[in-house]
Amino acid sequence: MRAMVSPEQTCSFYSMIAAEQRLKDAGYGEKTMLYQPEDDNEEEHQLKVDEEVLNAPWNTTRAFLSAIKGKCLLQVTGPADPTGCGEGFSYVKVPMKPQQSKQAESAPAPPKKLVTGTDADLRRLSLSNAKQLLKKFGVPDEEIRKLSRWEVIDVVRTMSTEQARAGEGGMSKFARGTRFSVAEHQEKYKEECQRIFDLQNK
């Protein structure tokens, strides 16, 4: 018998049985407990499922395996955190792309500001004015001389965007795309994971 079943498999089995009994005691039926979307990316259906079902070991295992394959991220903190105090990982799926909050979605969209043809249009910014802006940003003259016109414009756009994200005013009229990109979302996710990992290893 010991050769056929490992201690890990035994723990998995008893964990599954205990979770199943907890859900039955809470009034969940077979169909609700064994919820499995046909597609791993069905995030809308995931939101409708109760936290108790999402926290079941078969769902957290499925989420973990999807995350390893790069199909989703895992909640860093949340109801499936076994520590209950934010020092563990909550193995519930979250989308790879940053999501807007429901309040932000329901709020009316602000009118889009057109930059083409205005003084914020980077294509109309003269090279001398762009170089003056770089000097105001603190870029040394020798660095500015090495840059071509479009490299100068790119640095102006990048530095203006960084200022706008930091909440500083000034030359932020040349800022572009202040919403989080997927890469930034994943970078923040990695930082949060590292923070929790460091907490666990104190």
In a domain? residue 33: yes
Q: pLDDT tens, 89-140?
A: 888 888 777 665 544 444 454 444 434 334 557 778 888 888 888 888 888 8
Q: Are 157 and 174 in contact (CB under 8 A)?
A: yes
Task: Inform me whether the pLDDT recorded for 179 exceeds 60.
Answer: no
The answer to whether residue 16 scores a pLDDT higher than 60 is yes
Q: Length of the chain in residues, anyone? A: 202
Where among 98, 133, 155 does a domain terminate?
Answer: 98
Are residue 60 and residue 130 in the same domain, yes or no? no
- The whole domain housing 81 covers 7-98
77 and 14 fall within a common domain: yes
Domain contains 27: yes
Whole-angstrom CA distances from 198 to 27, 129, 146, 168, 189 are 38, 47, 42, 32, 14
CA distance 85 to 40: 29
User: Residue 17 has what pLDDT?
Assistant: 92
- The verdict on 12 and 94 lying in the same domain is yes
Query: Do both 19 and 93 map to the same domain?
Result: yes
Rounded Cα distance, 18 and 21, in Å:
5
Q: What is the pLDDT of residues 42-96, one digit of tens each?
A: 555 455 567 788 888 888 888 889 888 988 888 888 877 877 777 788 888 887 7
Give this prediction's pTM. Answer: 0.52
* Residue 125 domain flag: yes
Place 37 in a pLDDT band, splitting at 50, 70 and 90.
low
In the chain, helix, strand, coil percent, each to 5? Answer: 55, 0, 45
pLDDT for residue 196: 86
Residue 2 covered by a domain? no
Say if 122 falls within a structural domain.
yes
What mean pLDDT do residues 164-181 have? 58
Statement to judge: residues 89 and 11 lie in one domain: yes
**Overall domain count for the chain:** 2
